[in-house]
Amino acid sequence: MDLSVLSDHGPEHLKIRSMNPPPVEAPFSDELWMEEALRLAQRALEAGEVPIGAVVVRNRDIVGRGWNRNISEGDPSAHAEIVALREAGATLANHRLEDCELFATIEPCAMCAGALIHARVKRLIYGADDPKAGAVRSVLQIINHPQLNHRMEVRSGVLAGRSSELLQAFFRNRRERVRLG
Ligand code: ZN
């Protein structure tokens, strides 16, 4: 390609091009929403909580956000997913979230999986598997259990490495604090 052809157009050509950018479809993807869930997990980490975050999305809008608050609120049920579902229910003034998707940085536990079913969530997207408490497939299979009526689409492994890194940083720090007394 002869580059002198481009330079012949001069700055005026570049100006016109920048005024008329090609139409680009906004990148609304699972990874984009997971980025927000990871930001919330980071807030949990900064607050000394287990770094897990969750967002509820409906029609490309975030209607609920949550991060773990068990310690700060003295609440064993204050998992990121539960906090996000409560906010979504309040935002939509509806306890059924049938057209909603929930993004969580880690595989939900039995309590959160149960809440997702009660909420009739349409789709669950999560990051890392939780081999100690995961209730989608790792320890229990509560989501899409054959004897339960509700079915939801599941996608796992979205930005899983970053979710694991946050959790590893948290548990490494905690071990360090215990060691130092
Ligand atoms: Zn949970």
Higher pLDDT, 21 or 52: 52
- Amino acid identity, residue 149? N
DSSP tag of 148:
S
- What was the pLDDT predicted at 21? 54
Q: What is the pLDDT of residue 178?
A: 81
The residue ranking higher by pLDDT, 64 or 14, is: 64
Alpha-carbon distance of 31 to 136, in angstroms, equals: 20
More confident residue, 142 or 22: 142
Q: Give pLDDT, residue 177.
A: 83
Using the mean position of ligand 1's atoms as its centre, give its distance from the Cα of residue 11 in Å.
Answer: 56
Distance 41 CA to ligand 1 centre (A): 13
Q: Is 167 helix (H, G, I), strand (E, B) or coil?
A: helix
Tokens of 108: 């939900």
Please name every residue paired with 62 in a beta bridge, in sequence order, or none if there are none. 57
- Tell me the Cα Rg of the chain: 21
Q: Checking DSSP bridges between strand 53-58 and strand 61-67, what pairing results, if any? A: antiparallel
Q: How far is the CA of 172 from the centre of ligand 1 (A)?
A: 21
Question: Residue 62 Cα, ligand 1 centroid: separation in angstroms?
Answer: 20
Beta-carbon count within 10 A of 83 CB: 22
Q: How far is the CA of 83 from the centre of ligand 1 (A)?
A: 10
Q: Is a pLDDT exceeding 50 seen at residue 15? A: no
Reported as a single tens digit per residue, the pLDDT across 101-135 is: 999 999 999 999 999 999 999 999 999 999 999 99
The continuous run of DSSP H or E covering 84 comes out as: helix 80-92
Residues 6+ apart with CB under 8 A from 126: 103, 104, 105, 106, 107, 108, 136, 154, 155, 156, 158
φ/ψ of residue 158, rounded to 5: -80, 115
Which are the catalytic amino acids? 81
Least confident of 3-12, 139-148, 163-172: 3-12
Give me the pLDDT at residue 6, please: 44
Question: Hey, what are 122's tokens?
Answer: 């349409």
Going from the Cα of 147 to the center of ligand 1, the distance in angstroms, rounded, reads: 21
Q: CA-to-CA distance for 49 and 137, rounded, in angstroms?
A: 25
Amino acid making up residue 88: A
Q: Indicate whether 90 pLDDT > 60.
A: yes
Which residue did the predictor score with more confidence, 136 or 15? 136
- Residues 65 and 37: their CA atoms lie apart, in Å, by 8
* pLDDT band at residue 1 under the 50/70/90 scheme: very low
- At residue 3, the pLDDT reads 46
Ligand 1 centre to CA of 34 (Å) is 17
pLDDT band at 7 (very low <50, low <70, confident <90, very high): very low
